[in-house]
Structure 1
């Protein structure tokens, strides 16, 4: 007879939302990668190596975001720091989009990065990932 295991308590809302948003970002980046692959085959290349590197970078980012989201969904505390770093990288990207005239895209990117960081450092997420939120006296 197999041993019966019980699932741990469900993940708190902030952690579930952070996982969902990280995976959504990964899907968005995967779609961008597909567009870049299409462009590789149809556009006139002025610098093929740079085009290939940008495409590989986008594909790697998509895989990384999905993997980090999955790890956080499994409550792997080591995945939180890379997730925060990736979200903070959205701040300068969004800023330069705004400066470059793409405020309609840069503003939401900044907001998304800050939102996910907030979800990842919330008290409920800290508890779910096993971080001690109270310091011992």
Structure 2
């Protein structure tokens, strides 16, 4: 039997794990994954409503559902990228968190403070966790 490694010459390649994520980055990833799960649940509800409810405009209903599904996927992808220390994911995540602030504000104004306040709190927390020195260093940006 012929092989690519000559007899007697075996080399062991050691793969070292990178150091653990700092707590701030780990929390940001977990909160972002939580946001993704929440948006996925909203998307699942929208799919259910599309299948069982009556819509005035089915095209609009399907577009809203597709937007929710795309948002959930994007949040999952960005959470995964941050957990893999991809520095390029930090900017889009911060932009998404800033976009959640007016959503939470208008939910509060519309009488849904029970949903608006946590949305604002989580958005601020994720943004703050991502700009801490330990997260910045772990992403190789500082």
Equivalent residue, structure 1, for 2:140: 130
Let me know the Cα RMSD of the aligned residues: 0.8
What is residue 80 of structure 2 aligned with on the other side? 70
Structure 1 gaps of 5+ residues are: 133-137
Q: What is the DSSP-based 3-state SS (H/G/I as helix, E as strand, rest coil) of the residue aligned with 2:123?
A: helix
Deviation string 1:19-66 (CA, Å, 9 cap, x unpaired) is 111111111111111110000011111111110010000000000000
Q: Which of the numbers 113, 118, 125 marks the counterpart of 2:123?
A: 113
TM-score by length of 1: 0.94
Question: Once the two structures are superposed, what CA deviation does each residue of 1:87-127 show, in whole Å capped at 9, x if it has no partner?
Answer: 11110000100111111111111111000000000110011
CA deviation after TM superposition for structure 1 residue 3, in Å: 0.7
- Which residue is 2:113 aligned to? 103
Deviation at 1:2, TM superposition (A): 4.0
Q: 2:103 aligns with which of 75, 93, 112?
A: 93
Alignment-derived partner of residue 90 in structure 2: 80
Higher Cα Rg, which structure = 2
Show structure 2 runs of 5+ residues with no match.
1-10
Corresponding residue for 2:59? 49
Distance 1:2 1:64 in 2: 39
TM-score, with structure 2 as normaliser: 0.90
Deviation larger for 103-112 or 58-67: 103-112
Q: 2:34 aligns with which of 3, 9, 24?
A: 24
